[in-house]
Structure 1
Amino acid sequence: MTRLERAAHLSAIGTAFLAAIGLWVAVLQIRASEQTQREASARDAYKEYLKLAMEKPEFAEARQGKAMVSPAVKASYAWFVEYFLYSAEQIHTSFPNDREWESALSEQIC
């Protein structure tokens, strides 16, 4: 085997190695991007829940016999709670061990 052939083989091996590293970096970037997107979606969902709570304070501080006077109000309140549960699930999934989020959600539940 000549020096030129050996250099060609080493070049091919080096190229394959660099391609593998590039693929690994791309996978890491995609995962980081997906996590960032999930976190942003969770924050947006919770922000929308807080916006609804400010627009409908009677739902945010509802007492089950007082605020629920009509079937329409009961249905609206049920959807309000459903939206909170959705945003809480998004936050819990995106930030599973974050004490600040845990505290914020616990405050809203209690």
Structure 2
Amino acid sequence: MTDNLKNKDSSIPNELKFIKTSDMPLDGLSDPQKVALNRKANALLNEGNVEMAKRIFITTGYSDGLTRIGDSYIKENNYLEALKMYLLAHNKRKTEPIIEKISQTVSVMLKS
């Protein structure tokens, strides 16, 4: 299903695409507009306004920014939100340890 979503498969109903819709940057933004928005989001993130920066980075599809948002969630021990951001950023290096940690936790829970 993920591959279909990445390819924007129109055979999948919109209500089933909710998981990855933010993986698709907003069409219609020019490169200069994206640059300006990403600079604004970086400034917001540096000021501590993580949620507003996150909204902008999702809109522009800026993977470095999404990774930085994920890093801020890790500092708060919010692993699921961090995982979401890393997945949107297509950052396997950061997603794999979290997935491993979650897998180990589930495994321990199932053995109990």
Question: TM exceeds 0.5?
Answer: no
Q: Which has the higher contact order (CA 8 A, sep 6+)?
A: 1
> Which structure's residues are more often helix, by fraction?
1
